[in-house]
């Protein structure tokens, strides 16, 4: 079997997307779990943030909020509310990312999850 770079797998998992390193290492089952979990968590993080941004943009467009101190106060309050809603999914996304990196590292030669033919 062609030797695969563990460093490249770790970098793919860390900087591209959770599960990308596992695809590179041909660990497709783990990759599927990380890709699905990472995608669901990303969507759940973005939904409240985008809804809040759209609501504020609509209020600015309708003239309910003028550009000034009121807008800054409203943006701060909305940001606090949106980040509170996204905290759980954000932590799940972080867990997916870290799991992908650690799993890729553990697949290295002589490590816990290495295969005999690696």
Q: Give per-residue pLDDT as tens, 60-118.
A: 888 887 777 877 887 888 888 877 888 889 999 999 999 999 999 998 777 777 776 54
Contact present, 38 and 89 (Cβ < 8 Å)? no
99 within domain boundaries:
yes
What residue has token string 């497709």? 28
112 within domain boundaries:
no
41 within domain boundaries:
yes
pTM flag (> 0.75): yes
Residue 31's nearest CA partner among 42, 45, 16, 43 is 16
114 within domain boundaries:
no
Domain region containing 57: 6-106
- Domain count along the chain: 1
């Amino acid at each position: 079997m062609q030797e695969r770079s563990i460093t490249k797998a770790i970098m793919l998992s860390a900087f591209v997307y959770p599960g990308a390193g596992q695809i590179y290492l041909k660990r497709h089952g783990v990759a599927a779990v990380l890709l699905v979990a990472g995608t669901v968590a990303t969507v759940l993080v973005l939904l409240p943030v985008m809804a809040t941004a759209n609501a504020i943009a609509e209020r600015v467009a309708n003239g309910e909020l003028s550009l000034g101190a009121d807008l800054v106060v409203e943006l701060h309050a909305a940001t606090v509310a949106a980040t509170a809603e996204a905290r759980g999914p954000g932590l799940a996304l972080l867990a997916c990312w870290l799991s992908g990196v650690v799993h890729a590292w553990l697949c290295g030669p002589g490590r816990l999850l290495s295969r005999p033919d690696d």
